[in-house]
Structure 1
């Protein structure tokens, strides 16, 4: 029998070697394809086809090796592939190689888009936190590398049984240089300076009932930021205490300066008035200035004695005149106390409130309510001006008034919220 193309056994050794090399490549590719389908759980049918192709290719490779060996030995032998044209075999093997390459590429693409146990394990193993799943008996179902490492640091052994690991994180750690920062939430300070928090969850899905998920989270940044905040809060608290002390000292200094300035002003005005009166009496100045100087002297006497009139009617008229000059109207309910000292203190308080209403509250009216009872006199003073600023305190005038009231066994209260109120209480004298 004659063939147009030479058979495998009659062709050159180079062509035979090329064919066997291609078949070895095909065997490797078929093994890779079969392994990929097994790992991906591609299905029994595809796995069976890949297995069959691998077996057939292996048998074909055995036949090629047998014929090639007898060709080299020149021994009498009936070749298996004597009638197969070698060019056809080469083309078939090349096509098989191309098919296997395409099939492996398709398998890898499907593997990357398909959820499998290996892909789940790979994803869990690459997360930065520690993850562990265990059943009701404490057997480890899945644990990533980070949880294994943390278990080794805490207990000295790798994670094998969850109950042992649970006892380790719920009690004092076995290893040294490990500090348990929070017993309630299982927060540990590790020797490398990192801080980890362990949390345990019971899976509630019907198919996963009884399984436990344990997560280890790196909370180093939160922990150190919290420590910085605590340190800053302590510094701020110390600074606030110093500021409060400073404000108290400033308030005392301001009141002292106001009192000193008032005394100096009264002293200067008093001296100028007396000097002018002396010059008038010596006839060195015009007598027409006498009335003005006497009025100024009268005002300075009021500051010192809180009175410019001998009776309560003239005293009220003088205070009302002072209020009109400032653009303030006085509305009084009740009568002035009959006691001279109480009357002077009431008038002094009214004067101070009129001045503060014009200077600070920018109001137009001051309201006074005077009540007389068996216990004494109750006086309330307020205005229609703007509410005092936050953290407002008594100035020099009110502080001096308080001392004068308390010297007469009376009491004085001031309120700055929601509006300004001044309360005076004088006991009845026998």
Structure 2
């Protein structure tokens, strides 16, 4: 069967099929060109397109002769003798080849970096990207950069110079602001987000191109603000610590001076008590003179009070000097030795000064870590209620510093009780 033997309807169907094939092959050629896939397959595509055009021309000429019933020309006579099965088979093969070519292009475009895929990729980025020539002509601006530019300035046509001036001078739409950060800018959007805008020169081949980038740094900016606030707080704390250190140094110096004064006061007090005892009871004149000579040297600044000696032993010597027997029952814990010494000194002073006694007894017990010290003397009992002032007031303060308790009894005789709990 030839084309000349076919009906007009069949010829029309073959002609439409040939026309569609030609359009499809032209689409393949244009797509390959737009996608930048090269020209390696153009010969095959063009050859297939020419075959399709030849079939379409032959079918058109035969249809014209059949419809008009004119005498065919030489070419029309040739076209009428073309085998119809050959035409249908050729169209079927061309359709299958077109499907193969189209799928190959699809796979190549999907798996290869092309100008179109590059543009699509840049537009899918959340960060803004723009490439501008040194003369200010935009070469490529992705959708994120265009959106940021439009929202901040209200302009549709991207202008890198206008963007930079707006950021420098803070000439932006209402609700938007900018701040200079290093070599870039921070753009504060109306929705609360913060964008870091950077601009730099890059080389593409031998040409210089401006690259403008916009990063969404909202979370980083928030954390940096928190860090700055925290650093400011730490600086304030450091200043407070430095001030506290200076105050502590001053307090330590004052405590050292006070301790020295207390030692001098104790030495002078012992000398006075020794003098009183000598005047009342008599005693060793040589020892008394030696004590007063040392005390006079302390007051003139020639001697230094000895704070390294055992305070309990020194108190025993002081008690012997004033004619008082010091009796210690029990062991004194090492961490309470200073406190017990202060209490003995105060009770010794009161024994000589107020009670006119000759013996001071200290009973120390330890009950599961609770240390109790009871101070009594053999002198006259107090005439009335004892008022805590001077040395007794200072003693109570020292006891409370170690979280202890102090009680004073005056009836039937003087009794001072100090109780300190176990370590926490």
Q: CA deviation at 1:144?
A: 0.5
Structure with the greater alpha carbon radius of gyration? 2
Residues 1:397 and 2:394 aligned together: no
User: 1:136–1:212: 8 Å Cα contact kept in structure 2?
Assistant: yes
| 1:194 corresponding residue in structure 2 | 193
Alignment partner of 2:318 out of 312, 322, 339: 312
Aligned-partner SS, 2:195: strand
Q: Is the 8 A contact 1:29 1:101 kept in 2?
A: no
CA contact (8 A) 1:25 1:97 kept: no
Alignment-derived partner of residue 333 in structure 2: 326
Residues 106 and 359 (structure 1), Cα distance of their counterparts in 2 relative to 1, 3 Å cut: same
1:161 aligns with 2:159: yes
Q: CA deviation at 1:50?
A: 2.1
Secondary structure of the structure 2 residue equivalent to 1:210: strand
Distance 1:136 1:125 in 2: 23
The residue that corresponds to 1:47 in the other structure is 42
1:149 to partner: Cα distance? 1.6
Indicate yes or no: 2:6 matched with 1:11: yes
Query: 1:130, CA displacement in angstroms?
Result: 0.4
Q: Distance in 2 between matches of 1:209 and 1:55?
A: 42
Partner of 1:134: 132
Question: 1: CA distance between counterparts of 2:112 and 2:46?
Answer: 22
1:67 aligns with 2:62: yes
Alignment check: 8 A CA contact 2:4 2:80 kept: yes
Q: Using a 3 Å threshold, how does the CA distance of structure 1 residues 128 and 329 change in structure 2: closer, same or farther?
A: closer
Secondary structure at the counterpart of residue 81 of structure 1: helix
1:403-414 aligned within 5 A = none
Cα distance change on mapping 1:309 and 1:236 into 2, 3 Å: closer
Between the two proteins, the alignment pairs up a number of residues equal to: 274
Work out whether residues 168 and 180 of structure 2, in 8 Å CA contact, stay in contact via their aligned partners in 1. Answer: no
Gaps of 5+ in 2: 237-311, 350-363, 371-395, 403-424
For the Cα contact (< 8 Å) 1:37–1:46, is it kept in 2?
A: no
Which residue of structure 2 aligns with residue 420 of structure 1?
none
TM-score under structure 2 length normalisation? 0.53
Task: Choose 42-51 or 76-85, whichever is displaced more.
Answer: 42-51
CA distance, structure 1, for counterparts of residue 60 and residue 325 of structure 2: 136
- Match of 1:259? none
Task: Check the 8 A contact 1:32/1:104 in 2, yes or no.
Answer: no
**CA drift at 1:72:** 1.9
Q: Which residue of 2 aligns with 1:151?
A: 149
Q: Deviations over 1:290-341 (max 9, x none)?
A: xxxxxxxxxxxxxxxx9x97862559x999947824367979xxxx9xxx88
Task: Report the 3-state secondary structure (helix = DSSP H, G, I; strand = E; otherwise coil) of the residue aligned with 1:115.
Answer: coil
Does the 8 Å contact 1:139/1:160 carry over to 2? Answer: no
TM-score using structure 1 length: 0.53
Work out whether 1:218 is the aligned partner of 2:213.
no
Q: 1:188 Cα shift?
A: 1.9
Cα deviation, residue 134, structure 1: 2.0
CA RMSD of aligned residues (A): 4.5
* 1:123 shift after superposition: 0.8
* 1:241 counterpart residue number: none
Q: Which residue of 1 aligns with 2:417?
A: none
